[in-house]
Amino acid sequence: MCRFVRTATRSSSSSSSLVSWEVEEENDTQRKHPTNIGIITLRSPKTYNALTVEMGNDFRKLIASLEQDFLDNDPSNKNSTVGAIVLCGEGDKAFSAGGDLKWLRSLSDHSVHANVDAMLSFYNSFLGFRGKLPVPVIAALHGPAVGAGACLALACDLRVGCSHPKLLGFPFCRLGIPPGMGAQHLLHSHCGMSASRTSELLLLGKTLTGEEASELGLLNHELVPSDAVKDTAKSLAKQILRTSHPVAVRSLIRSTRLEADKGLSDCLYKDAHAQAMCYRRSDWGEGLEAVATKRDPEFDAYHSQ
């Protein structure tokens, strides 16, 4: 039997970072090569791990550092031995509640073109790992993943979830903006949901239970209790590494992402423009207020400014 030992590495984020990194090393002398796994944690439990610009910057920096580590053949650098990664959220409430509402409200003060740039930067700070990390990334959904948080979960190669009444939420249209961060592309092209079901989910701003997400094929493991999700994701990662050739795994991940990501950059550009226009409308903020007060929104007409 083997066990995994948690270690810090040179790419670990600082204690003040909103994103942390650690390596769990397999302590098994019987194995020729270690099957170490990495853990990325979103660290803002007080905000339910909302995705902020600051968190995105930390996430981007970590991924850039890891990209270089994966290219190195340095036995003293444990990051180079990582064969799979688990992405999770800190605390017991949520994987990620989505975009930071305070920041989203402030976008009405900016020009459309500035907001396009801001949204593209925001999207890519979190989704850029798909082109930089050549190993499987598994999302551990122990609680809700909403909006941008749901998109981050969908961008992962695999997902493990629990039986939560609000596990995956896509409230974009209810908030007063079209779906962003590649939601449509990720649901349809990456996760294989039909175009009609994708449209229904996004037009109605639906939130899926764990059971519904599983039935739609958005999860890759049977539902487990919320406090077992992270360990189950790690077990799935270890199973992949112990039974599959490392070259085959990296090759499969690269080819799968290349195929699934055809058109993703175009989708992100379109999403950024569409959302940027809505941030400049006079009724921007009505959807946010409606959600906060648990009522239906009352948006202005299409031709209103």
Distance CA 270, CA 266 (A): 6
Q: Which residue has the higher pLDDT, 6 or 60?
A: 60
Span 226-241, pLDDT tens digits: 999 999 999 999 999 9
Query: Where along the chain do its domains lie?
Result: 4-292
Tokens matching residue 248: 């085959």
Which among 32-36, 69-73, 138-142 has the top mean pLDDT? 138-142
Residue labelled with tokens 């968190």: 55
The stretch 25-41 carries a mean pLDDT of: 79
Distance CA 106, CA 284 (A): 10
Q: Judge whether residue 12 has pLDDT over 50.
A: no
Q: Judge whether residue 14 has pLDDT over 60.
A: no
Name which of 71-75, 81-85, 183-187, 278-282 the model is least confident about.
71-75
Residue 137 phi, psi dihedral angles, 5° rounding:
-115, 125
**In 3D, which of 240, 44, 226 has the Cα closest to residue 157?**
240
Q: Judge whether residue 7 has pLDDT over 60.
A: no
- Count of C-beta atoms within a 10 Å radius of residue 274: 16
Q: Which CATH architecture has domain 4-292?
A: Alpha-Beta Complex (3.90)
Span 53-98, pLDDT tens digits: 999 999 999 999 999 999 887 878 889 889 999 999 999 999 999 9
Residue 30 pLDDT:
64
- pTM for the structure as a whole: 0.94
DSSP the chain: ---EEEE--TTPPPTT-SEEEEEEEE--TTSSS--EEEEEEE--GGGTT-B-HHHHHHHHHHHHHHHHHHH---TT-GGGGEEEEEEEESSSS-SB--B-HHHHHHGGGS-HHHHHHHHHHHHHHHHGGGGT--S-EEEEESS-EETHHHHHHHHSSEEEE---TTSEE--HHHHTS---TTHHHIIIIIT---HHHHHHHHHTT-EE-HHHHHHTT--SS----GGGHHHHHHHHHHHHHHHS-HHHHHHHHHHHHHHHTTTHHHHHHHHHHHHHHHHTSTTTTHHHHHHHTTS---PPPTT--
Which amino acid is it at 273? H
Cβ contact 36:12 at 8 Å = no
